[in-house]
Amino acid sequence: MSVDPVAIARDLLRCRSVTPVEGGALAFLEDVLKQAGFAVHRVTFRETGTDDVENLYARMGAARPNLVFAGHTDVVPPGDEKAWKHPPFSGEIAGGEMYGRGAVDMKGGIACAVAAVLDHLAATGGKPKGSISFLIAGDEEGIAVNGTPKLLKWVADRGEKFDHCILGEPSNQQVLGDTIKIGRRGSLNGHLIVTGRQGHVAYPQRAENPIRGLVSLIASLQSEPLDKGTPQFAPSHLEFTTVDVGNKTVNLIPDEARARFNIRFNDNHTLDSLKKLIEQRATKASAGKIKFSFQWEPSNAGVFVTTPGPFTELVAKAVAEVTGRKPELSTTGGTSDARFITQYCPVVEFGLVGQTMHQVDERVPLADLHALTAIYRKIIDRYFG
């Protein structure tokens, strides 16, 4: 008899694990995996100025290859709970769909992975031909400092290695089977600051208005493309998101003006090379006439790509056989914990459909839970076959 991913998803959704609170989700997984024979570790990491975060690592087997399923049980806040058709931590089913915060991002994906692994073990005498691991973080929806990056290092310090990873983030855009994520763009935030000289608006010759310089630099930085893209990535782009002066006096020229921006970049750049490029372009545009500086926010969101090959082909074939769709190999979207995992092994992202993630009434069709479980099962069977 197959393990029911719907029941596992329901029990996970009933855990109020709003980041960075564990909320019982890891305790539930620990119990399920221990009963199946996994060695389970719950590890808490801390850092000054951040919340303590509990994470889970489980493994069965000692041999290689080691296939790891990764994910996170923390979720974003539900917002106004009264606005939900069904309580966000109830796991209620209506109209063939299960409602709850984390249904698609990504407790549903974890439930499918657990069900598929348990089914595989039941069919193979309770042990894999190699190793199967679970790497589950507790702060992916937060600042991602005390979760996956530290858990990966903790595992590596134990002398363990991963061979391939499936991250169950909601990769699909419209329907299950349309997209496999094989990479992610990098993300960098910065502030452009222009300084001038304060003065009375009636005597502009006695002042230096920084807003003029800021507008000029903004136009210049957005006028020239950062690159033309690469075989796996679209062109990088810079977007200004705020312009701030903070001047409430109508007849006063301010002495400073700021603008905040974000850059989503491809594998033409690193975080350091991108900063250098932007600073060089601003210097050229200022022509020595604008006093400016940059403040760069810390970032652990570098770019990565998993080169298509036998592993991506194995995953894509399993998807096609279950759904009848040939998935697109994509690098679109925001960041994910795959940016950390790629430093340890090849990783692809394939999970549920992300249309309702982070929304009121986040929900997943029960049919998708069963289909994703079937896809994961095919992947596991062939990986060890």
What pLDDT does residue 335 have? Answer: 87
Q: Cβ distance 246 to 209 under 8 Å?
A: no
Residue 365 to residue 83: CA distance in whole angstroms: 20
- Per-residue model confidence as pLDDT tens digits over 54-83: 999 999 999 999 999 999 999 999 999 999
**Burial category of 340 from C-beta neighbours within 10 Å (exposed 0-12, middle 13-18, buried 19 and up):** buried
Residue ranges of alpha helices (H) inside the chain are: 5-13, 25-35, 107-123, 148-157, 210-223, 271-286, 310-323, 338-341, 366-383
Q: How many CB atoms lie within 10 A of CB 221?
A: 19
| Mean pLDDT value of segment 198-202 | 97
Query: Which domains are present in the chain?
Result: 5-184+303-383 (3.40.630.10), 186-296 (3.30.70.360)
| Mean pLDDT value of segment 337-362 | 97
Question: What's the chain's average pLDDT?
Answer: 96
Percentage of the chain surpassing pLDDT 90? 96
What pLDDT does residue 334 have? Answer: 84
- Annotated catalytic residue: which of 11, 74, 139, 141? 74
Residue 57 to residue 73: CA distance in whole angstroms: 13
Q: Label residue 1 by pLDDT band (50, 70, 90).
A: low
Residues linked to residue 253 through DSSP beta bridges, in sequence order? 199
What would the two tokens of residue 294 be? Answer: 């940059």
Looking at residue 244, its amino acid is D
**Burial category of 317 from C-beta neighbours within 10 Å (exposed 0-12, middle 13-18, buried 19 and up):** middle
| Mean pLDDT value of segment 103-119 | 98
| Mean pLDDT value of segment 234-239 | 96
- Per-residue model confidence as pLDDT tens digits over 23-63: 999 999 999 999 999 999 999 999 999 999 999 999 999 99
Q: Cβ distance 202 to 177 under 8 Å?
A: no
Q: How many CB atoms lie within 10 A of CB 123?
A: 12
What pLDDT does residue 143 have? Answer: 87
What pLDDT does residue 333 have? Answer: 87
What pLDDT does residue 38 have? Answer: 98
Beta strand 304-305 pairing with 237-244: unpaired
Residue 255 to residue 30: CA distance in whole angstroms: 57
Whether the predicted pLDDT of 4 surpasses 70: yes
| Mean pLDDT value of segment 90-108 | 98
What pLDDT does residue 154 have? Answer: 98
CA angle 30, 32, 33 (to 5 degrees): 65
Q: Cβ distance 326 to 224 under 8 Å?
A: no
Check if 140 is active-site: yes
Using the 8-state DSSP alphabet, how is residue 95 labeled?
Answer: T
Phi, psi of 329 (to 5 degrees): -90, 110
Percentage of the chain surpassing pLDDT 70? 100
Whether the predicted pLDDT of 301 surpasses 90: no
Check if 256 is active-site: no
What would the two tokens of residue 374 be? Answer: 């079937």
| Mean pLDDT value of segment 344-354 | 98
- Annotated catalytic residue: which of 92, 140, 349, 368? 140
